[in-house]
Amino acid sequence: TSTRRPFFFKITSKEDAKTPTFVLKKDNNKENDQIIDVKQMPSEIIKRNASATGPTQMQIETRDLWNMTIIDTPGLIFNPDQ
C-alpha cells in the first residue's frame, strides 16, 4: 500500500478560538475551503486522495498550540503479510 499525495498539516495559534477548527483547504476537486468535524477527517482525506493530485492541506486553528507545519510525504508502507 502506498500514500498518493503529500499531506500538509498546518497548526495555527489563534487566541480567540474557543474550540479547534479543522479546515481542509481547497484543491482541484473542491472550489472552497471546507470546515469539517474531526470525525469527518478520515473519510474526507480518503475521498480527496482518490480523486485529486497535488498535496492535501489541512489547517487547524486553536489557541492551545504553537504555530507549526508538519509535512507527510508519499511513500511505501511495508506490510509483510501481503
Tens-place pLDDT, residues 35-58: 899 898 888 888 877 777 778 888
pTM (predicted TM-score): 0.71
What sign does the dihedral 12-50-33-74 (CA atoms) show? positive
Q: In b/e form, how buried is each residue of 27-56, taking b as 16+ CB within 10 angstroms?
A: beeeeeebebeeeeeeebbeebeeeeeebb
CB 12 within 8 A of CB 60: yes
pLDDT at 11 over 50: yes
